[in-house]
Copies of this chain bind each other. A is one copy, B any other.
Amino acid sequence: MASTANASTSDKVTVLTADLVLSQWQGHRRLTRRVIEAFPEDKLFSFSVGGMRPFSELAMEFVKMAEPIVRGVATGKWAAFGSSAWPDTKAALLALWDKATEEIDAVWPTIPAHRFAEVDKAFGQWENSGIGTILYAIDNEIHHRGKEYVYLRALGIDPPAFYDRS
């Protein structure tokens, strides 16, 4: 990469600390929770465009990734992917969501500093650095949640504002 006399040495510039990544993620998780809430109960478990999965399945994918990834990065121990209970109501899904939110906040500060850069096999399968696995989970959530904005519009429902993470 080209550099000039005035350039920062951007390979050494810290732009995100662990706390900032957590607060960014929890902001996205609050928005995702509002998207879950915006779905009518039956549509949450059944509505599809183009043969894609209904949102309940995607939201459960997020639940199965989020807290287990934080715990795996913290401890180096990984359970098999996808062993969570399966909710069949919006309230049950939101309860799992809220439990994950609390657990992420509790486990996050116990991640040893070196584990963010250390390469590991997430769920025994996917090799990446700790931060790489965490960013994948965040990006995957944003990506799939984006689809749900189309689902909601197709249902005639205004989705929550993307920029609001409060």
* Known contacts A16-B21, A147-B149: A10-B109 contact under CB 8 Å: yes
**Copies of this protein, total:** 2
Q: How many residues of A contact B (CB 8 A)?
A: 56
Instruction: Report whether B19 and A10 are in contact in the complex, using a CB–CB cutoff of 8 Å.
Output: yes
Contacts of A86 in B (CB 8 A): none
1/0 contact string of A131-149 vs chain B (CB within 8 Å)? 1000110011011111101
User: Which single residue of chain B is at the shortest CB-CB distance from A153?
Assistant: B50
The verdict on A22 contacting chain B, using a C-beta distance below 8 Å, is: yes
Q: Which of B8, B105, B109, B116 contacts A15 (CB 8 A)?
A: B116
Is residue A80 within 8 Å, beta carbon to beta carbon, of the partner chain?
A: no
Asked whether any CB of chain B lies closer than 8 Å to the CB of A71, the reply is no
Most buried by B among A18, A110, A150: A150
Any B CB within 8 A of the CB of A119: no
CA distance A10 to B106 in the complex (A): 12
A22's nearest neighbour on chain B, judged by CB, is: B10
What residues of chain B lie closer than 8 Å to A16, measured between beta carbons?
A: 14-16, 21, 131
Cα–Cα, bound, A143→B138 (Å): 11
In this complex, what residue of B is CB-closest to A135?
B24
Residue-wise, chain A 24-61 has the 8 Å CB interface mask toward B (1 for contact) of 10001000000000000000000001111000000000
